[in-house]
């Protein structure tokens, strides 16, 4: 089984992200970066499927600035075989559609059975790149996958995906694009030997010109959307503890506060 994982480096879930004073950007100085957690499910699944099939190759494809190498090396340390890093100023300012175009141009000539993306990247949260990539490559796609089983003949895959109140089970021909949801697996940690081995695994930097993509279709020039402003959510008001001697009295006080102070009921 040959798999590709689209991996995005994102700020750590615990990082506090602030907008610049004019709101034109976000401040990333001193921020710790990680692999977007939903992409880790993709790496783990690709490794499990490779182990099950008894062979194949797991390749990471990442578009991002130079610092993304750290996330790529972590993915290689988890067990991926090799990586491609789309690293060029021409990619700067790409929105989700332009990012998908760049990834598709790279992936077009590669060998794969399944392309895994996260259900969303946990910084920009657009949930667009996986479906857009599938469309650009002319591949079947499904999202929010929580379980998958590749057919014995390796020509199709059966996947479970979450829907409200249950699960939907779908069958897709291979190759296809899947976006990963929490619950798909338990991503492994990079072991110390894995970290050592990762240093020697192939990591190919790629410029826009090498993937035959027209610079006008990526970056800010190729993006249909433009960030007008970043703003922080309004500061929360202090919480109020509702008192009372008994559960009934507390409930009555809560109802009173909701009616008279919050005017919510
Ligand atoms: C107007 C605009 C300008 C931007 N400018 C920049 C910029 O200058 N520099 C910058 O770093 N970002 C920039 N971004 C953000 C960046 O391009 C996002 O990666 C892109 O918008 C995708 O959206 P998302 O991250 O919400 O992805 P989602 O669609 O939520 O991601 C889903 C999955 O797609 C895959 N994926 C997403 N992005 C990548 C990637 N880059 N490489 C590999 N796989 C990926 C991952 O598997 C991910 O889990 C900009 C965004 C906008 C809207």
- Measured in Å, residue 14 CA sits from the centre of ligand 1 at 19
Residue ranges of the chain assigned to CATH 3.40.50.620 = 3-217
As given in the structure block, the two tokens for residue 147 are: 């379980």
Answer whether 76's CB lies under 8 Å from 60's CB: yes
Q: pTM for the whole thing?
A: 0.90
3.40.50.150, 3.40.50.620, 3.10.105.10, 3.40.50.970: CATH of 3-217: 3.40.50.620
Q: What is the pLDDT along the chain (265 residues), one digit of tens a residue?
A: 999 999 999 999 999 888 999 999 999 999 999 999 999 999 999 999 999 999 999 999 999 999 999 999 999 999 999 999 999 999 999 999 999 999 999 999 999 999 999 999 999 999 999 999 999 999 999 999 999 999 999 999 999 998 999 999 999 999 999 999 999 999 999 999 999 999 999 999 999 999 999 889 999 999 999 999 999 888 888 888 999 999 999 999 999 999 998 898 8
Q: Position of tokens 């919050």? A: 262
The residues lining ligand 1, judged by C-beta closer than 6 Å to any ligand atom, are 6-8, 36, 38-39, 62-64, 92-96, 99, 103, 117-118, 120-121, 124-130, 223, 225-227
**Mutate which of 102, 121, 184 for ligand 1 pocket (most atoms within 8 A of beta carbon):** 121
Q: Which atom of ligand 1 is nearest to 122's Cα?
A: 30
């Amino acid at each position: 089984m040959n798999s590709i994982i689209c991996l995005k480096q994102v700020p750590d879930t615990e990082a506090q992200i602030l907008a610049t004073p004019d709101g034109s950007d976000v401040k990333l100085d001193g921020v710790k970066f990680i692999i977007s957690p939903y992409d880790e499910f993709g790496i783990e699944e690709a490794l499990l499927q490779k182990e099950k099939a008894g062979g194949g190759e797991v390749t990471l494809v990442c578009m991002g600035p130079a610092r993304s190498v750290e996330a790529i090396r972590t993915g290689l340390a988890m067990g991926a075989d090799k990586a491609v890093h789309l690293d060029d100023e021409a990619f700067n300012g790409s929105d989700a559609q332009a990012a998908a175009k760049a990834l598709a141009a790279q992936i077009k000539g590669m060998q794969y059975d399944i392309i895994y993306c996260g259900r969303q990247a946990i910084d920009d949260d657009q949930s667009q790149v996986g479906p857009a990539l599938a469309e650009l490559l002319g591949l079947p796609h499904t999202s929010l996958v929580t379980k998958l089983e590749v057919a014995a003949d390796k020509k199709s895959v059966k996947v479970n995906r979450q829907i409200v109140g249950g699960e939907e089970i779908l069958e897709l021909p291979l190759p296809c694009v899947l976006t990963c949801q929490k619950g798909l697996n338990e991503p492994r940690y990079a072991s110390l030997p894995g970290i050592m081995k990762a240093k020697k695994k192939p990591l190919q930097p790629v410029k826009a010109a090498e993937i035959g993509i027209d610079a006008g279709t990526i970056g800010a020039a190729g993006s249909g959307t433009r960030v007008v402003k970043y703003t922080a959510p309004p500061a929360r008001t202090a919480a109020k503890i509702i008192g009372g001697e008994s559960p009934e009295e507390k409930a009555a006080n809560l109802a009173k506060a909701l009616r008279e102070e919050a005017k919510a009921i």
